[in-house]
């Protein structure tokens, strides 16, 4: 018989994750005295000192780190079991929970959703857009099944989170046909032109700024906008020039009004699918990782 129960182990696991009994008690909704008593009982049963104090924080001892490694394996497996059961809803529909990293091209996200639905028409899809580090944490906690992003997640050594490149999409300048006709030659023709870019945190923004500096260009930065659809609307309204990946351009509702200006830049938008390695695979994830790619329109291949 084990010298502890799994409630004790879970209390220890939560305290270690939260770094203090006070924070763990709020998370668990258990009083601090009761939680402290349970921890002491667990340590007594194990005949180990699992923590030592550093200021107001509890830090794992060497023995505590060993116990924590096993606890993480146990509770990750338990969460994964629950996750697998959740993947198929009570009415038999497969549930796919997709995270969309901020600045990821919406056209690429739409392609991923359509891929799932083409494979499993009755699937229940949910989308959540957020910062990549938030989505990666939810992926790690089995709240999400997959994340699509235009930057990879910098996983720590030994992490089970994996990045897979599914496309390298060329970036090009584009505008409404009437605006494009006024730009006779690149790159010089961009001088003084109203420019609409994604915000400075976007990979495209930094790459375009480098291009402008390299060619000594000084366009008028009219706006920095996060949503590519809003950028598309502004371009269609003849408000300026923007740099978009060609997949977004040729999949947009305004693709007949907007045209590329010159050939693609020496800049690419790299699209990643980010997943967590599991013992039991989600019914659709392995198929997606093996088969999903962005099929670039022929006009993207200059």
The residue ranges of every structural domain in the chain are 6-86, 88-164+271-300, 168-269
Top pLDDT among 301 and 43 is at 43
pLDDT for 286 equals 85
179 close to 240: Cβ distance less than 8 angstroms: yes
Which residue, 230, 269, 272, is CA-closest to 252? 230
Question: Quick check: 74 pLDDT over 70?
Answer: yes
Structure tokens at 153: 């997640």
So what CATH class is 88-164+271-300? alpha beta
Common-topology check for domains 6-86 and 88-164+271-300: no
User: 127-178 pLDDT, tens per residue?
Assistant: 999 999 999 988 888 889 999 999 999 876 557 889 999 999 999 999 999 9
pLDDT averaged over every residue in the chain: 85
User: 203-242 pLDDT, tens per residue?
Assistant: 888 888 888 888 898 888 999 998 888 898 999 999 999 9
Per-residue pLDDT, averaged over 10-21, amounts to 86
pLDDT for 90 equals 46
Q: What is the dihedral of CA 223, 217, 210, 226, to 10 degrees?
A: 10
Structure tokens at 42: 């667990």
- Report the b/e string of 21-50 with b at 16+ CB within 10 A: beebbeebebeeeebbebbeebbeebeeeb
Structure tokens at 264: 């693609």
pLDDT for 299 equals 67
Does domain 168-269 sit in CATH 3.40.190.10? Answer: yes
**Rounded to whole angstroms, how far apart are CA atoms 214 and 188?**
12
What is the percent of the chain where pLDDT is above 90? 27
Residue range 6-86, CATH number: 1.10.10.10
């Amino acid at each position: 018989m084990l010298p502890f129960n799994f409630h004790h182990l879970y209390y220890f696991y939560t305290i270690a994750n939260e770094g203090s009994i006070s924070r763990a008690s709020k998370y668990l909704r258990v009083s601090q005295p009761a939680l402290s008593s349970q921890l002491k009982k667990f340590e007594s049963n194990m005949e180990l000192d699992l923590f030592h104090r550093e200021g107001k924080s509890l830090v794992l001892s060497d023995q505590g780190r060993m116990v924590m490694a096993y606890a993480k394996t146990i509770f990750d497996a338990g969460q994964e079991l629950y996750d697998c059961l959740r993947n198929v809803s009570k009415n038999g529909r497969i549930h796919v929970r997709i995270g969309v990293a901020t600045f990821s091209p919406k056209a690429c996200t739409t392609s991923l959703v359509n891929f799932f639905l083409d494979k499993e028409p009755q699937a229940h899809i949910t989308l959540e857009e957020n910062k990549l580090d938030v989505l990666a944490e939810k992926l790690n906690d089995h709240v999400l099944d997959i994340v699509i992003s235009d930057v990879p997640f910098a996983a720590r050594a030994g992490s089970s989170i994996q990045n897979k490149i599914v496309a390298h999409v060329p970036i090009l300048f584009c505008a409404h046909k009437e605006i494009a006709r006024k730009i006779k030659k690149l790159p010089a023709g961009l001088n003084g032109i109203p420019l609409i870019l994604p915000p400075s945190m976007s990979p495209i923004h930094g790459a375009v700024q480098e291009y402008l500096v390299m060619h000594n260009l000084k366009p008028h930065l009219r706006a920095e906008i996060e949503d590519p659809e809003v950028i598309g609307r502004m371009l269609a309204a003849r408000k300026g020039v923007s740099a978009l990946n060609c997949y977004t351009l040729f999949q947009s509702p305004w693709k007949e009004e907007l045209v590329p200006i010159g050939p693609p830049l020496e800049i690419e938008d790299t699209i990643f699918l980010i997943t967590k390695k599991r013992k039991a695979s989600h019914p659709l994830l392995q198929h997606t990782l093996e088969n999903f790619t962005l099929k670039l329109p022929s006009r993207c291949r200059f």
